[in-house]
Amino acid sequence: MGIVAGLDSSPDFTRIVVCDADTGSVLRQGYAPHPVESTEGGSRPSDVDPQAWLLSLGEAAGGGLLEGVQAIGVSAQQNALVPLDSRGATVRPALVGGDKRAQVAAADLIDALGGRQAWAEAVGCVPQAAQPVTKLRWLARSEPDNARRTALLLQAHDWLVWQLLGRPLRRTTDRGGASGTGYWSAATGAYRTDLVELALGHQAALPEVLGPSEAAGTTPEGLLISAGTGETMAAALGLGIGLGDAVVSLGASGSVMAVHPEALVDSTGMITSLADATGMHLPVVTTLNAVRTLRGAAELLGMPDLESLSELAMKSTPGSHGLVLLPYLEGERTPNLPHTAGTLAGLRRESMKPEHLARAAFEGMLCGLADALDVLRGRGVDVRRIFLLGAAAELPAVQAAAPALFGVQVVVPQPADYAAFGAARQAAWSLGVSQGTLDPRTPPAWQGAVAQVLEPGDELAVGQAVRQQYVSVREQTHPGAFRSQP
């Protein structure tokens, strides 16, 4: 079929992979950091000129990287709001990331619509500081002149696709990206323009939502540009996950998402109902405490890094000699305990050893994620296999405990830019559909990720006992935490 490319514009860099459209074999790659300066203290800025993404893209594509490419897919950071005026010029820099300035705006919006349940039923998620709908509310309250000038709303991948196509009159997005805005419902497949007005104070134009295999357009040179999508959805497409699969991501905070045939409306707001890039759905449950739990334990025990903490934990045994850590160090979102603290239970003389505390940190983190997984299972989501992502997934202590605690096969893919790979797979899909060689309902069958496969095996019963020990402590400390959600 030819050659396709996928580009991933993350918060920090652009990565491009060029692939064989039939097999997915990576032929060449490009990379460039975004020319964006960190704020004081080294954190990412909350405001970014979108031109930085274009400059990075141009540098990553240098040296003839895209020569012979017939189609491009675009993946980009989610929740980046690009407000444009009536002429298509940026009103202000893009609002990116989990913008803490918008936390009050999130609470305002929740109250304005009548609570968490009202939002969950309207669009499948409860407003958070990172979401575009919340950033609109912040804009209206903090920069009213800019809010009044805002006539069109795009996200990062929408804006990049629009630029690649030469800024046509037609602006597009995909259902994956739209599902994270807070003003599009994955359940109905439609915008809630009333929520845009509630947040911004007036209506604004919104991009057309394309189907998974539809093309956004073709450049004057004949290069097909696919619909594009958000990073999460592109990574899922790149990994090749399907029904029965879940992805557990180990960052400072954690997330569990699974493929499901329908949108889940969750009145507690614990489940965020996203759409994927194939026509299915991606219900997501997040925890506030994942790798930050391990880092805290490493500091407490004087360990220089997580590898040393893992090595220490492996000297203990499953169950950590009765030590149980509820890892709610930053409060917790799943269960909804925003003002609580962590708990260390089961202290006995024989358990008061560094290796047992190290093991309890790993088990506590994974049991917290297993709680999030059970939220999805409780709503009928089938989980037979888990993909474990993040640098911490490589740690021996994580790999030793995860299969038994999750109770299913665990797959640890080799580190790669799966979002860029997924964007390329989407480009191949759109190209094949346009040529009449692929079914618009089924993405091309590319080779899956190279991965380690870990089975629960004989450890399953032990793992479930450890999990029950954790649940007992959680219920004693926070009775009914999963039954009394607001």
Position of tokens 């996203």?
A: 274
Query: Per-residue confidence at 364, pLDDT binned at 50, 70, 90?
Result: very high
Predicted confidence (pLDDT) per residue in 237-258, tens digit: 999 999 999 999 999 999 999 9
Predicted confidence (pLDDT) per residue in 123-157, tens digit: 999 999 999 999 999 999 999 999 999 999 999 99
In angstroms, the CA 382 to CA 211 distance is 25
In angstroms, the CA 280 to CA 262 distance is 7
Residues 6+ apart with CB under 8 A from 97: 11, 44, 46, 77, 79, 80, 130
472-479 average pLDDT score: 97
In angstroms, the CA 180 to CA 131 distance is 7
In angstroms, the CA 73 to CA 21 distance is 12
The H or E element that residue 142 is part of is helix 132-142
373: its two tokens:
């997984």
Q: What percent of the chain shows pLDDT beyond 70?
A: 98
In angstroms, the CA 313 to CA 294 distance is 11
Q: CA dist 454 to 8, 74, 89, 235, 409, Å?
A: 29, 32, 51, 21, 6
Q: Taking the CB of residue 268, how many other CB atoms lie within 10 A of it?
A: 18
List the single range of 36-45, 172-181, 266-275 with lowest mean pLDDT: 36-45
In angstroms, the CA 449 to CA 419 distance is 12
3-class secondary structure, 223: coil
In angstroms, the CA 177 to CA 160 distance is 13
Q: What one-letter code names the amino acid at 362?
A: F
In angstroms, the CA 200 to CA 108 distance is 12
Query: Are 143 and 125 spatial neighbours (Cβ–Cβ below 8 Å)?
Result: no
The H or E element that residue 218 is part of is strand 215-218
3-class secondary structure, 220: coil
Query: Per-residue confidence at 41, pLDDT binned at 50, 70, 90?
Result: low
217-236 average pLDDT score: 96
Measured at the alpha carbon of residue 284, what is the angle toward residues 450 and 80, in degrees to the nearest 5? 90
35-46 average pLDDT score: 75
Q: Is the dihedral of CA 332, 338, 341, 344 positive or negative?
A: negative
Whether the bond into 318 is cis, omega within 30 of 0? no
Going by their DSSP bridges, the two strands 229-230 and 71-76 should be labelled as parallel
Question: pLDDT at position 100, please?
Answer: 82
Predicted confidence (pLDDT) per residue in 396-446, tens digit: 999 999 999 999 999 999 999 999 999 999 999 999 999 999 999 999 999
pTM above 0.85, yes or no: yes
- Supply the mean pLDDT for the chain: 95
In angstroms, the CA 69 to CA 78 distance is 26
Q: 21, 33, 61, 10: which is closest to 420 by C-alpha?
A: 10
Question: pLDDT at position 486, please?
Answer: 42
In angstroms, the CA 417 to CA 295 distance is 25
Going by their DSSP bridges, the two strands 244-250 and 383-389 should be labelled as parallel
Query: Are 293 and 361 spatial neighbours (Cβ–Cβ below 8 Å)?
Result: yes
The H or E element that residue 72 is part of is strand 71-76
Alpha helices in 143-290 (DSSP H): 144-149, 156-164, 175-178, 193-200, 231-239
In angstroms, the CA 306 to CA 148 distance is 48
